[in-house]
Structure 1
Amino acid sequence: MNTVIAFIFMFGLLVFIHELGHLIFAKRAGMLAREFAIGFGPKIFSYRKDETLYTVRLLPIGGYVRVAGEDPEIIELKPGHHIGLEFNDFGDVNKIIVNNKSNYPNAKIVEVEQVDLDHELKIDCYELDTDEHHQYSVDRKALFVMDDKETLIAPYDRQFGSKSVGQKGIQVFAGPAMNFLLAIAIFIGLGFLQGVPVDEALIGGVQEDSPAEQAELMEGDEVVSINGQSIETWMDFVMYVQERPDEQLDVTVERDGELLSKSITPESFTEQGETIGRLGVMRMFEDSPGDVILYGFTQTYDITVLIINALGQLVTGQLSLDALAGPVGIYSATDDVVQTGFLNFLMWTAMLSINLGIINLLPLPALDGGRLMFIGLEAIRGKPVDPQKEGVVHFIGFALLMLLMIVVTWNDIERLFM
């Protein structure tokens, strides 16, 4: 049950932060954000505030912010359509009833001749009862009513396509950027909770009844060399010891400016099916505010580089698709991490947040990187790509991504039962 709660919290946080970036900058640019969704598929929960519908959906495979103009409008009025109109106190249309008009007895029923809800905000029509021609102004916040559900109209200046290249680019980039900021914040929080690991091979603690205690190693000792080989960093120290279980080591440490020699035999320890050596020492941590804040940025940078390198190996064939994990694989890995403690779970969440930001910036259709690519083409050409052609590319890209998700998820399931 702890893993289920942790996974739901983690998934919800990562998607919420990502989509919040899109939402904030859509609203700052004056775009009409119709929906803020976590998940895809059928709605589990929905809540409307002001212009935006906030939803939680069934399938935990992402989320989206639906901005007016990014997709074709759901409701399109054409000449000959019979609609109902309701008016505000100034005589402007504030409701356009598309169907179920009998449920609105105060509505004026008209036949559409011409309509412009993008620029002029006008409806030319004939009143059915008198056959009189009218032209009505439409309120900027008028509502479509279809199947008794209300949807705001979207004048052109509220649509995605009306904004500058810069505004569109920032709105799209804001999602991945928020994932990187979340990772930085988590690592800073971890730094304040547990301190920042130092790079030097400094011993921060010694476990009882361990080989290190038997050799009288102490907190604050700095490992200088092992078997005559110089040790520069903590990772040099760890790797050297792990590769030599049950092998006697001549360890030189510096204590209060004095060099001391110790003979230590690492005990054998099995981890993920591999036998490694372990001395029973802990890493030194520091907690100065400056170091902690810097740690948030450097740790995010280091993991970003690590993930980008892994993606490069995937592209060049050095890694196979089997190395990828979908929701099932991530859930399984989360289960393992949860068992090791809350702080490790936070670090796992930060790593996944960075991964989500990087993946979304790949120049692939249907991802934020693909959308940024089209915005870049618009900047170069001086005009946007045909929205219909761009929509087809994104649709095909989304379909291929869903296919990849199915393949990866199937691999995850197979691994669980191997």
Structure 2
Amino acid sequence: MNTVIAFVLIFGALVFFHELGHLMLAKRAGILCREFAIGFGPKILSFKRNETVYTIRLLPIGGFVRMAGEDPEMIEVKPGYHVGLLEGKDGKVEKIITNNKEKYPQARIIEVEKADLEHGMYITGYEEGSEEGLKRFEVSEQSFFITDGQEVQIAPYSRQFASKTLGQRAAAIFAGPFMNFLLAFVILLFLGLFQGAPVDLPKLGELTKDGTAMSSGLKEGDTIESINGKSVSSWRDVVEIIRANPEKELNFQVNRKGEDLSVKVVPEKFSAGGQTIGRIGAYTPVEKGFVSAVKYGASETYNVTKEIILGLGKLITGQFSIKMLSGPVGIYDATDKVAQSGIENLFRWAAMLSINLGIVNLLPLPALDGGRLLFFLVEAVRGKPIDRQKEGMVHFIGFALLMLLMLVVTWNDIQRLFLQ
């Protein structure tokens, strides 16, 4: 149950902050955001705040922000339609009733002659019970359709995604992956604040009670000057010597609060990755402080990003098999193992997953944020956007292929679980 909770919280946080990036920049640009969703499929929970419906959906495989203009509008008003109009105090139409008009006796019923609800924001038509002939009704920028008793906000062209500048559209799309990198940095920053930021100094960090370092007389904070007469200048130097000498006596020359001491330590034998190495039960030294934590968060975010990109490069060149990729099932299994090793490692795992999500979404593939940005780049080069229907078809095919890949990866994850 703890693993389920950890997985749901981590997955939910990664998707939430990713989509929040899209939502914030889209709203800042003035785009009407109809829905902010975590997950896909049937709705489990939903509520509306201001213009946006916030939903949690059944399938935990991502999320989305539905912006006006990205998909064809579901409701149209065509010539010959009969609709009801409810006007506001300023005389402009605020609600257009498409069916069940008898439930709104105060509405003015008209037969539509022409409607422009994107640019001109008006409807012309003939009102029932009136002999005045063709009338023109101005429609408010903040107006709604009412269909089956449900209100759907009308999106003038100025509120649609396509109406915004190339820079505004690119920023709204890029903000999602950026928030994943920012989330990872913040997680690692807080780990650095509460635990201390690891530093590469020849100084002993926390000692384990059952390690040979403590039983030999070494203490946390001792500065190591040399081992077996070989000077050391970093924690990496210390670790390399210890790992290379299992069950061999080592002479540590240390400085403890200004006093030089000589301590003999025998690293215990330990198996790791098929190799036999030595260890003494001492953790990496840490440095506490806000500046150190910021440096740690930035450097770790950079290092993890670099490693993931190198891994993707190996996948492209064939050095890394697709069978080694993990989907939701594999990530759940890994989360279970990481959760058992402690809350600190679980937070580091969450930061790594957040960076991974950001990088994957920036890949220049259809249906991903990177694919959208690639289309924007083409638009910038050619000076005009690509046909929306053609772009939509490319993204649809890309999404279908991604779902197929997800199924293959999930099947591989399930096979690995049964073979363990």
What is the TM-score normalised by the length of structure 2?
0.92
In the alignment, the residues of structure 1 paired with residue 410 and residue 361 of structure 2 have an alpha-carbon distance, to the nearest angstrom, of 19
1:356: which partner in 2?
A: 357
What is the CA-CA distance between 1:85 and the residue it aligns to? 1.9
Structure 2 unpaired stretches of 5+:
none
What is the CA-CA distance between 1:243 and the residue it aligns to? 6.2
One-letter amino acid of the structure 1 residue matched with residue 21 of structure 2:
G
In the alignment, the residues of structure 2 paired with residue 123 and residue 254 of structure 1 have an alpha-carbon distance, to the nearest angstrom, of 86
One-letter amino acid of the structure 1 residue matched with residue 269 of structure 2:
E
Structure 1 unpaired stretches of 5+:
none
Q: Which moved more, 1:228-237 or 1:196-205?
A: 228-237
Change (3 A) 1:189 1:263: closer
Which one of 256, 264, 270 corresponds to residue 262 of structure 1?
Answer: 264
Change (3 A) 1:324 1:201: farther
What is the CA deviation profile of residues 330-379 of structure 1, one whole-angstrom value per residue up to 9, with x for unaligned ones?
A: 11111111112222111111111111111111111111111111111222
Change (3 A) 1:388 1:229: farther
Change (3 A) 1:60 1:20: same
One-letter amino acid of the structure 2 residue matched with residue 284 of structure 1:
P
2:325: which partner in 1?
A: 324
2:59: which partner in 1?
A: 59
In the alignment, the residues of structure 2 paired with residue 355 and residue 164 of structure 1 have an alpha-carbon distance, to the nearest angstrom, of 29
What is the CA deviation profile of residues 142-181 of structure 1, one whole-angstrom value per residue up to 9, with x for unaligned ones?
A: 1011222111101111111111111111111111111111
1:117: which partner in 2?
A: 117
1:370: which partner in 2?
A: 371
One-letter amino acid of the structure 1 residue matched with residue 270 of structure 2:
S
What is the CA deviation profile of residues 278-300 of structure 1, one whole-angstrom value per residue up to 9, with x for unaligned ones?
A: 32112211102211111111111
1:398: which partner in 2?
A: 399
What is the CA-CA distance between 1:259 and the residue it aligns to? 7.9
What is the CA-CA distance between 1:385 and the residue it aligns to? 1.0
Change (3 A) 1:126 1:275: farther
1:96: which partner in 2?
A: 96
Task: Check the 8 A contact 2:192/2:293 in 1, yes or no.
Answer: yes
What is the CA-CA distance between 1:257 and the residue it aligns to? 7.8
1:45: which partner in 2?
A: 45
Percent identity (aligned):
55
In the alignment, the residues of structure 2 paired with residue 142 and residue 74 of structure 1 have an alpha-carbon distance, to the nearest angstrom, of 15
In the alignment, the residues of structure 1 paired with residue 324 and residue 229 of structure 2 have an alpha-carbon distance, to the nearest angstrom, of 38
Q: Does 1:311 align with 2:307?
A: no
Q: What's the Cα RMSD here? A: 2.3
In the alignment, the residues of structure 2 paired with residue 207 and residue 258 of structure 1 have an alpha-carbon distance, to the nearest angstrom, of 23
What is the CA-CA distance between 1:12 and the residue it aligns to? 1.4
Residues paired across the two proteins, number: 416
Task: Check the 8 A contact 1:223/1:251 in 2, yes or no.
Answer: no
1:415: which partner in 2?
A: 416
Task: Check the 8 A contact 1:241/1:266 in 2, yes or no.
Answer: no
Q: Which moved more, 1:128-137 or 1:365-374?
A: 128-137
What is the CA deviation profile of residues 52-76 of structure 1, one whole-angstrom value per residue up to 9, with x for unaligned ones?
A: 1111111111111111111111112
What is the CA-CA distance between 1:16 and the residue it aligns to? 1.1
What is the CA deviation profile of residues 14-62 of structure 1, one whole-angstrom value per residue up to 9, with x for unaligned ones?
A: 1111111111111111111111111111111111111111111111111
Change (3 A) 1:261 1:377: same
One-letter amino acid of the structure 2 residue matched with residue 308 of structure 1:
I
1:281: which partner in 2?
A: 282
One-letter amino acid of the structure 2 residue matched with residue 30 of structure 1:
G
In the alignment, the residues of structure 2 paired with residue 229 and residue 397 of structure 1 have an alpha-carbon distance, to the nearest angstrom, of 58
What is the CA deviation profile of residues 225-247 of structure 1, one whole-angstrom value per residue up to 9, with x for unaligned ones?
A: 66787765434544664566x54
Q: For residues 120-135 of structure 1, what are the structure 2 equivalents within 5 Å?
A: 120-129=120-129, 132-135=133-136
Change (3 A) 1:207 1:83: same
One-letter amino acid of the structure 1 residue matched with residue 264 of structure 2:
K
Q: Which moved more, 1:25-34 or 1:71-80?
A: 71-80
What is the TM-score normalised by the length of structure 1?
0.92
Q: Which moved more, 1:183-192 or 1:72-81?
A: 72-81
Change (3 A) 1:321 1:229: farther
Task: Check the 8 A contact 2:199/2:285 in 1, yes or no.
Answer: yes
What is the CA-CA distance between 1:275 and the residue it aligns to? 5.9
Task: Check the 8 A contact 1:223/1:253 in 2, yes or no.
Answer: yes
2:338: which partner in 1?
A: 337
What is the CA-CA distance between 1:210 and the residue it aligns to? 2.4
In the alignment, the residues of structure 2 paired with residue 208 and residue 33 of structure 1 have an alpha-carbon distance, to the nearest angstrom, of 56
